[in-house]
Structure 1
Amino acid sequence: MTLTVAVLMGGISAEREVSLTSGKACSEALRTEGFDVHDIDVTKDVNKLIADLTACKPAVVFNALHGRFGEDGCIQGLMNLLGLTYTHTGVLGSSLAMDKERAKAMVATAGVRIPESKAVELEQLARGDDPLPRPFVVKPMREGSSVGVHILQDGDNRVLTKANFSNAELALMAERYIPGRELTVTVMNDKALTVTELVPKEGFYNYEAKYSDGLTEHMVPAQIPQEVFDEALRFAEIAHKTLDCRHISRSDFRYDDTPDGDGKLYYLETNTQPGMTPLSLVPEQAEYQGMPFPKLCRWLIEQALVAREVS
């Protein structure tokens, strides 16, 4: 019997367009694997979403949503209420990982190194009152894909105001800027795959660099000291377990290898709904480990079914 899968994509976050790309790629891959796939473009109309799901009666819902509503426990809670089996992390892990400050505090208690950070009010930034010594990073507490991230360097005359952020991003945090190299690690079922270094052609690894072809070089595996490589794998596995992640996650790090730096690795955040676009890092690391993209999508469906059986 052909298994019916509903792929949720789009959504209402700042990452809507990326989610549509992820969702369409996953739909195509799942069709090649023989599933009966139904694409569902998620909007603010929850009644329509429920009607679409009721109409196709999926055995599994493949969650390809990113950002708010799709990655913060909201859609997961709705799936639970509807009694539907779904991929990726559940309600608790999704909500924990989406809150950067709480996630960092939790993984720090498990022995993972984090940079100093604190919650900050927009009014404080607008006054030019620095919450941390420069350089520091300002980022939304509960957004993904580097949406709304700003780095304030020494001598930077910018003043951040409401115009620099969407209304959804006004819960902000300031974090000590870690110079050096950008690293990321995928974890599948508690096992880290490898370490990728991300080298933007210019600036930092922001939203444009993530989703524009040719703007960032992906080095798989990262050419870093073995002890740092191993620590990145270990930190990612700790974060995955500590934050109650399920099936798959991707954790991001900074490695300070600058001449005046401390040579240490720092955890930044964990993504429970990592991108599944042609430029995305999780499919790239899975491919490096011998799992082609269609097989990765099938694996996520299979893991959701296993989770249903044991729950």
Structure 2
Amino acid sequence: MGNPARGEKSVTDILHVAVLMGGWSAEREVSLMSGTGVADALESRGHKVTRIDMDRNVAAVIAGVRPDVVFNALHGTPGEDGRVQGMLDLMQIPYTHSGMTTSVIAIDKQLTKNELLPHGIPMPEGRIVESESLYDADPLPRPYVLKPVNEGSSVGVAIVREDGNYGQPIGRDVAGPWQEFDSLLAEPFIKGRELTTAVVGGEALMVTELVIATGFYDYDAKYTDGVTQHICPADIPAGIADYCKELALRAHHALGCKGPSRSDFRWDDELGRDGLFLLEVNTQPGMTPLSLVPEQAKAAGMDYAELVERIVREALA
């Protein structure tokens, strides 16, 4: 579902934009960075901006502000899982990024699989496991990946390897997502390269390869300067780049995404096209200085402020 527009604005209008950021998810600090960048960019283009650090009274705050549009710069729950979208739908205030139904599906990795696999989009097979069961036996042959079903930014992801320190099976006293979440999604580990593609304005921009100094592309690697090298555009065969962009666009449309999205892939380059797998679709991609969507937009000739403006105008279209 999309989001409602209230009134019509021309492309030259000065707008009052409420930038919604912060909140109480595990990704609060990243959201504050995204929101600050967005607000600064909108102000640089002459718009009136109200910055809102979301709390439990957010509906009353937005109602009092009466913006033309809300820029949703939240990451994680409840800004990425459909709850804030549903609230804004009820308030009949237009907002950026995907609507409620899409957000509910995309934040849930298993629901995303259920939606995209029938469209022929290759994804790793996986299944939901109870965390308690990991203390008795491995759910899949090692190596495999464990991740929370509905957290973003690779929060709580663990790779369980043959030579890992988790034990056989995983020990109860070993730190990991099994101590934080009652259930997890278990998937086979796909060796190879980390790729990502942004979709903005209904167009797949390009492919970035993420080369991580150590470990894998987890929360710290995403948001700690110097940990991950971004190769943009990726040094990969043109056919693989085109396939990434095709799959990102197909997933964007199949899920009903609006505004920007970012699709993350693993590519086993020894298998060519057959080695490319979509991992997830992010409907609230970061807008920090280290974020991938602004980086791809810049490489495509669109500066940060222009990107933000384009996202806002699409929300009002």
**After superposition, where does 1:198-213 map in structure 2 within 5 Å?**
198-213=210-225
Residues 201 and 311, structure 2, Cα contact 8 Å, conserved in 1: no
**After superposition, where does 1:87-102 map in structure 2 within 5 Å?**
87-102=96-111
**Aligned with 2:243 (options 223, 231, 234):** 231
**Aligned with 2:302 (options 280, 284, 291):** 291
**CA displacement at 1:161 relative to structure 2:** 4.8
Provide the C-alpha distance between the structure 2 equivalents of 1:18 and 1:169, rounded to a whole number of angstroms: 22
SS of the residue 1:277 aligns to: coil
**Aligned with 1:142 (options 140, 150, 158):** 150
- Shift of the 60–168 alpha-carbon distance from structure 1 to 2, 3 Å rule, reads farther
| Identity value in percent | 49
**After superposition, where does 1:238-277 map in structure 2 within 5 Å?**
238-258=250-270, 264-277=275-288
Tell me the matched-pair count: 301
SS of the residue 2:284 aligns to: coil
Q: Deviations over 1:25-59 (max 9, x none)?
A: 1000010011100000012x2xx212221221100
Q: Which one-letter code corresponds to 1:132 in the other structure? A: L
CA-based RMSD: 1.8
Q: Deviations over 1:240-279 (max 9, x none)?
A: 0111101110000000025x89861001000000000000
Provide the C-alpha distance between the structure 2 equivalents of 1:280 and 1:106, rounded to a whole number of angstroms: 26
Corresponding position of 1:309: none
Q: Which one-letter code corresponds to 1:91 in the other structure? A: M
Provide the C-alpha distance between the structure 2 equivalents of 1:189 and 1:126, rounded to a whole number of angstroms: 46
Q: Which one-letter code corresponds to 2:144 in the other structure? A: F
**CA displacement at 1:136 relative to structure 2:** 0.4
**CA displacement at 1:282 relative to structure 2:** 0.2
Q: Which one-letter code corresponds to 2:150 in the other structure? A: R
Residues 106 and 112, structure 2, Cα contact 8 Å, conserved in 1: yes
Any unmatched runs of 5+ in structure 2?
A: 1-12
Q: Deviations over 1:147-192 (max 9, x none)?
A: 0000001132412659533987433100110011000000123321
Provide the C-alpha distance between the structure 2 equivalents of 1:234 and 1:79, rounded to a whole number of angstroms: 31
Provide the C-alpha distance between the structure 2 equivalents of 1:280 and 1:68, rounded to a whole number of angstroms: 19
Are positions 1:304 and 2:305 aligned together? no
Corresponding position of 1:55: 64
- Shift of the 169–292 alpha-carbon distance from structure 1 to 2, 3 Å rule, reads farther
**After superposition, where does 1:63-212 map in structure 2 within 5 Å?**
63-127=72-136, 129-158=137-166, 159=170, 161=172, 164-165=176-177, 169-212=181-224
When normalised by structure 2's length, the TM-score is 0.91
- Shift of the 89–224 alpha-carbon distance from structure 1 to 2, 3 Å rule, reads same
SS of the residue 1:69 aligns to: coil
Residues 96 and 259, structure 2, Cα contact 8 Å, conserved in 1: yes
When normalised by structure 1's length, the TM-score is 0.93
Corresponding position of 2:26: 14
SS of the residue 2:113 aligns to: helix
